[in-house]
Structure 1
């Protein structure tokens, strides 16, 4: 299957539709573009965090102000760590596009709904499979 490259243009206002063949080249190009834009946005936010850390060292003389600043930076850095993990999931989704596995549930092999992929383009399971997986995980944690 030939998949359009990331630079290929999509028709203006294009949105994947259930009326089309599932994961046709246009849909794959759409999700690739969406994933790349999301990754780019995360990387830009990370750069701005790094710049702010360099520009604003924690030097508040007041202990309360310093503690508040440290708490704020701790939250910011945890957010960036979650986003770092998200980037690896985005990269994995981009690899699935290249291999032809994108959009298909890794458990059941069924198509993942376009609505789910639109909301969570890194999804690897259908909603039903995800719910079963989470129930099984909860049961194993409770034991």
Structure 2
């Protein structure tokens, strides 16, 4: 649960660091309780936003406006198709966000699933759902390019 205090936001009883504080923490403090709280808050907010977007799409698609002009109707149908494709990508992202939250709860978040090495704060800030370190991800992409995995 996140609460605001005068000093900042509290997640599960821990004050989350600012971005500057997060980036200035020493490497030996990797995935300490404040960093975990920061990413838990970030992922929970992302999850809430994705769920809200899905609800908005449902509402938009329920609107049955009769459009007599075929060109206008085609435009509306294309907009709906685009919105559905966007929501499909967001649905996949939501699943990744929920998996990342589970890894946080298990104490596995932030560690490369291939090597066990730290993924790194900058990479997690760029891609909070990352499961591989940058090097492991590059190796995987190279293998996919070479072998079509």
TM range (shorter): 0.7 to 0.9
1:109 aligns with 2:119: no
CA offsets per residue over residues 38-91 of structure 1, 9 Å max, x none? 010111111111112122x25321111111111110010011111111111011
Partner of 1:27: 35
Partner of 2:79: 72
Please report how far the alpha carbon of residue 117 of structure 1 lies from its aligned counterpart in structure 2 after TM superposition. 0.3
Contact 2:16 2:34 in 1 (8 A): no
SS at match of 1:123: coil
- Structure 2: gaps of 5 or more residues: 1-9
- The answer to which structure has the higher strand fraction is 2
- Structure 1: gaps of 5 or more residues: none
Contact 2:11 2:41 in 1 (8 A): yes
- CA RMSD, 1 decimal: 2.0
Task: Please give the alpha-carbon distance, in whole angstroms, between the structure 2 residues aligned to 1:110 and 1:12.
Answer: 23
Under a length normalisation based on structure 1, what TM-score does the superposition of the two structures give?
0.87
Task: Please give the alpha-carbon distance, in whole angstroms, between the structure 2 residues aligned to 1:134 and 1:34.
Answer: 27
Contact 2:43 2:101 in 1 (8 A): yes
Please report how far the alpha carbon of residue 9 of structure 1 lies from its aligned counterpart in structure 2 after TM superposition. 4.5
State how many pairs are aligned. Answer: 137
Task: Please give the alpha-carbon distance, in whole angstroms, between the structure 2 residues aligned to 1:119 and 1:12.
Answer: 17
Q: Relative contact order (alpha carbons < 8 A, sep ≥ 6): 1 or 2 greater?
A: 1
Task: Please give the alpha-carbon distance, in whole angstroms, between the structure 2 residues aligned to 1:58 and 1:78.
Answer: 21
In structure 2, relative to structure 1, the CA distance for the partners of 1:12 and 1:141 (3 Å cut) is: closer
Counting only pairs closer than 5 Å after superposition, residues 47-126 of structure 1 correspond to structure 2 as 47-55=55-63, 57=64, 59-126=66-133
Please report how far the alpha carbon of residue 11 of structure 1 lies from its aligned counterpart in structure 2 after TM superposition. 4.8
Under a length normalisation based on structure 2, what TM-score does the superposition of the two structures give?
0.83
